Structure 1
C-alpha cells in the first residue's frame, strides 16, 4: 500500500481546531440548573424523587438562581407547578402563570441570566 508524499493534518494545525475536535470536555458553561417554581411565599418543598431539588417560591428561586450565577452556571430551566390544571393546559400561557411570574422576577433581579 502506498502512502501519499504529503499527509495533510489540517485538524491539528492550530489550537482552535484541536479544541474543536477533541474528546468531550465539560465545563461550568455547559450546565443548566433545573428550577421548579411554585406559587406562594417562603415555600421550599423537597421533591422526594429528586434528592437535593426543591419546589421553590419565587423569592427562594431568585436566591437559588443568584447562587448559581455566582458559581458560573450560565442558565436555568424553569418548570412550573400550577395551582390548578385543566385539560387544555391554559395555565402554561396565562399572564399570571407561575413560570411567567418567575421569569419576570428572574429577569428583573438577574438580567444576565
Structure 2
C-alpha cells in the first residue's frame, strides 16, 4: 500500500511539474495603440529588441500585436513595458507622457483628430 501511495505521489508531482514548463515558442497577442506605419515599425522593433522575442507583427487596423516568445527568457508583461517605453500604450502599461509627447506628429494616437485623419486616409 505504501508503494502504491508513493507511485501515485510521484506521478502527481511529475504531471504538475510538466504543466508549469515554460514554452520555447509560445504564441502571445495583445492590443497596442498606434495609427500608422511609423508606429508599426516602432512597436515591432521594441518587441523584437526584447530578449526572448522571436517574431513580432502588429496590425495597423486591428492594433493586435502577435508575438512568438521564449517564455524561459521573457513574458508578455516585459514586452508590453518595453513597448510603452517607446511611446505606445497597451492594456497593461501606459507610455510615459514625455515619451509620448516626443513621438512624430502623425503618431499621436491619443489625439482624436489624428485618429480621424488616419481613418480618412484608409478609405
Q: TM-score, normalised by structure 1?
A: 0.33
Pick the structure with more helix per residue: 2
